[in-house]
Amino acid sequence: MNLENSAHLFRAKPNAARRAERGIFWLFRLATYVVLLSGAAVFANIIFKGAGTVFKTEAPFINTTFLTAAPESLYVFEWQGQKREMGDHAFRAFKQQHPEAANVKAESFVYSAGGIFPCIVGTVLLVLGSMAIALSLGVCAAIYLNEYARDGAFIRFVRLAILNLAGVPSIVFGLFGFGMFVIFFGWNVSLLAGWFTLAFMVLPVVITASEESLKAVPKGFREGSLALGATKWQTIRKNVLPYALPGILTSSILGIARVAGETAPIMFTAAYVVRDKMPWEVEKFSDFFLQGVMALPYHIYVVSSKIPQNEYTERVQYGTAFVFLVIVAVIAMASILLRNRLRNRYKW
Amino acid sequence: MVTAVHAVMEPLSPSSAAEKPTPRLAAAQPAAAAPAKPGAPAATHLIDIDNLDFFYGASQALHGINLKIEHQKVTAFIGPSGCGKSTLLRCFNRMNDLIEGTRVARGTIKIHGVDIYQPDVDVIELRKRVGMVFQKSNPFPKSIYENITYGLRLQGRNKKSELDEIVERSLRGAALWDEVKDRLDQSGLGLSGGQQQRLCIARAIAVEPEVILMDEPCSALDPVATAKVEELIQELRTRYSIVIVTHNMQQAARVSDRTAFFYLGKLIEYADTRDIFTNPANPQTEAYVSGRFG
């Protein structure tokens, strides 16, 4: 072979395989962009429309009423040639100040004034309680399945059941929770009933992910520990679980987003359309667990479908959705930080 | 039965007997202690394997093994892969229990005359006395200090001064002290491969076992690290009984007093190491040690 020929040996020549390669590459790239764009569109829409409710143009730039007050009715009326918007409390005070306004004709829009503080509190309580239950049950089950149980027909059946549970629609969990906790256990519509319903809903995710995390801990850690005369439980507690924890937390982040966002499981079990008292305003301690709460996703559902729609309700809808996204992001970020800290402490 | 294990083993583990005397066991001692004086030439064999058949599920891994492992000697198990030498080693501290479907179908393994596969044997106590070093060094992702004290803390020994002393003694015993004494609080995973394996040896001797089982401890190490571990074995032999599985015949020849050659789950020959390598009785052994197969 002479030099002149070999210079052309690796030069690119167009052919069918090359064209197919480029085409396929663009197809995959486009698919990714479509996904990305849809996500961005949803977020942009909520942020754009919700920011108007949550932020203000003058100091302190955040609509504190929206974040710290309970929902109330909005009254819209004309006063001395000007269009005024007032919440229920403000409107009554206004009428006392101006007796001549007693008979002013005001349009009222339910839930369109005030804020969503009780919903924020309710959602945070629901998330904390249900994740606590789901994690303790789920991690225990995962430890049993992965460390103790010997593989057999029964264990395979249990795994199949867990997988199936993951596919059950959330409304079915809602109905189950209603029948089981609300009616049969007599807990009524309460935090407790909501906690358990939501916990059962995320349990499959938590169990599966915890099992994966436990599997990822090298066998050598277990053998080394057992060979030093540790019992199985000592081995798990000191030499397996700490190293699986970051992975378990990662899975629970997904669980948090789901628990916070699901409406169907809580609509029969834990959520109130409106409640005047805050959750801590209870007479005795046990009442705390047996009270219903307002919740962000359910509030969005109510203001979007249960009351007449207009420009005022739209503000609440998007404002609530915006706050909801921020809360989920904050909880998720806190979990990620915790996970990273644990990862740095327990890495191998 | 469990107390019998304690009673018979206790006298041969002088340090642990001294550190935590248990009155109940002490009472049981006089009868058993007499024949088991450490160093006494008449001492019975430490591990006595009698006609052992071992199964993984339906496949038989060990066929009728008869073997007596002597006290305070280095015993090497050699043989081609899959010959059952690791399986047998892992019977001695019942690590095979961790694998589903394994069972001793016939025969016994006695340590100090106690059949360790009896259902009433305390496996935890057995593993404290029969330590193990694994093929793949497995330091825990904890500090060097915590690695060494792991086994002690399991026994509820948490006194700082006692732990400090044992950490130093164990690391010195594993010829690692000078290399790591300034970084005991750093992760054991930051050590080199050879150091990690010596850390595992230090961790094993920290709980004062009587026997140390080594499952191809040098197979992942470079020649320099291997030489250090072999030197260490030479030092440990004065205080511990060591059973080592190795693929490296030179290693077996260098470190061991007695060598057992296994082939296809059977014990082919068991004799003094010198005899195995220079004057094997069995032609299969000769073929293997001279490198003609395996």
Q: Is the pLDDT of residue A151 over 70?
A: yes
pLDDT band at B44 (very low <50, low <70, confident <90, very high): low
Q: What is the mean pLDDT of chain B?
A: 84
Q: Into which CATH architecture does domain A117-345 fall? A: Orthogonal Bundle (1.10)
Between the ranges A258-262, B224-228, B265-269, where is the mean pLDDT highest? Answer: B265-269
Number of helices (H), then strands (E), in chain A: 14, 3
Q: Judge whether B110 lies within some domain.
A: no
Q: Judge whether B138 lies within some domain.
A: yes
Q: Is the pLDDT of residue A59 over 80?
A: no
Residues forming a β-bridge with A84: A77
Looking at per-residue pLDDT, the higher value among B217 and A104 belongs to: B217
pLDDT band at B17 (very low <50, low <70, confident <90, very high): very low
Q: Is B287 on the interface with A (CB under 8 A)?
A: no
Minimum distance, in Å, between the CA of residue B138 and any CA atom of chain A: 6
Largest distance between two CA atoms of chain B: 57
Q: Is the pLDDT of residue B36 over 50?
A: no
pLDDT of residue B254: 93
Q: What is the pLDDT of residues A195-251, one digit of tens each?
A: 999 999 999 999 999 999 999 999 999 999 999 999 999 999 999 999 998 888 887
Q: Is the pLDDT of residue A179 over 80?
A: yes
The CATH number of residue B215's host domain is: 3.40.50.300
* Direct distance between the N- and C-terminal alpha carbons of chain A, in angstroms, rounded to an integer: 54
**Nearest in space to A209 (alpha carbons), one of A145, A126, A123:** A145
Most A-contacting residue of B121, B154, B158 (CB-CB within 10 A), to test interface: B154
Q: What is the pLDDT of residues B58-96, one digit of tens each?
A: 999 999 999 999 988 999 999 998 899 999 999 999 999
pLDDT band at B49 (very low <50, low <70, confident <90, very high): very high
CA distance B30 to A319: 83
Judged by DSSP in three states, B239 sits in: coil
Identity of the residue in B131, B136, B140 whose CB atom sits nearest the CB atom of A239: B140
CA distance A112 to A311: 10
Q: Judge whether B248 lies within some domain.
A: yes
Minimum distance, in Å, between the CA of residue A148 and any CA atom of chain B: 10
Pairing of strands A106-114, B59-69: unpaired
CB contact under 8 A, B134 and A227: yes
Identity of the residue in A220, A230, A231 whose CB atom sits nearest the CB atom of B134: A220
**Nearest in space to A126 (alpha carbons), one of A248, A299, A245:** A299
* Average of per-residue pLDDT across B243-266: 93
Identity of the residue in A224, A234, A243 whose CB atom sits nearest the CB atom of B138: A224
Minimum distance, in Å, between the CA of residue B200 and any CA atom of chain A: 9
Residues forming a β-bridge with A62: A55
Q: What is the pLDDT of residues B164-212, one digit of tens each?
A: 999 999 999 888 999 999 999 999 999 998 999 999 999 999 999 999 9
Is the CB of residue A230 less than 8 Å from the CB of residue A239?
yes
pTM: 0.80
Q: What is the pLDDT of residues B270-280, one digit of tens each?
A: 999 999 999 99
Looking at per-residue pLDDT, the higher value among B184 and A8 belongs to: B184
Taking CB atoms and an 8 Å cutoff, what residues of chain A touch B125?
Answer: 229
Is the CB of residue A268 less than 8 Å from the CB of residue A178?
yes
Is the CB of residue B103 less than 8 Å from the CB of residue B64?
no
A101 CB-side CA count, 13 A: 17
pLDDT band at A7 (very low <50, low <70, confident <90, very high): low
Q: What is the dihedral of CA A223, A225, A230, A236, to 10 degrees?
A: -90
Q: Judge whether B283 lies within some domain.
A: yes
CA distance A39 to A31: 13
Region of poorest pLDDT, from A54-68, B88-102, B104-118, B146-160: A54-68
Domain range holding B227? 71-99+123-289
Percentage of chain A lying above the pLDDT 70 cut:
97
Minimum distance, in Å, between the CA of residue B50 and any CA atom of chain A: 24
Taking CB atoms and an 8 Å cutoff, what residues of chain A touch B128?
Answer: 228-229
Number of separate domains in chain B: 1
Residue type, A260: A
Per domain, the residue ranges of chain A are: 72-114, 117-345
CB proximity list for B270: less than 8 A, separation 6 or greater: B67, B258, B259, B260, B261
Minimum distance, in Å, between the CA of residue B139 and any CA atom of chain A: 8
Q: What is the mean pLDDT of chain A?
A: 89
Taking CB atoms and an 8 Å cutoff, what residues of chain B touch A150?
Answer: 100
User: In chain B, which among 22-81 make CB contacts under 8 A with chain A?
Assistant: none
* Direct distance between the N- and C-terminal alpha carbons of chain B, in angstroms, rounded to an integer: 42
pLDDT of residue A6: 65
CB contact under 8 A, B124 and A346: no
CB contact under 8 A, A226 and B95: yes
Q: Judge whether B1 lies within some domain.
A: no
CA distance B184 to A309: 68
Residue type, B229: V
Q: Judge whether B60 lies within some domain.
A: no
Q: Is the pLDDT of residue B148 over 50?
A: yes
Is the CB of residue B54 less than 8 Å from the CB of residue B104?
yes
pLDDT band at B15 (very low <50, low <70, confident <90, very high): very low
Judged by DSSP in three states, A154 sits in: helix
Is the CB of residue B28 less than 8 Å from the CB of residue B6?
yes
Taking CB atoms and an 8 Å cutoff, what residues of chain B touch A222?
Answer: 98
Region of poorest pLDDT, from A139-148, B24-33, B246-255: B24-33
Q: Judge whether B109 lies within some domain.
A: no
CA distance A174 to A177: 5
Q: Judge whether B54 lies within some domain.
A: no
Taking CB atoms and an 8 Å cutoff, what residues of chain A touch B95?
Answer: 223, 226-227
Q: Is B5 on the interface with A (CB under 8 A)?
A: no
Is the CB of residue B202 less than 8 Å from the CB of residue B188?
no
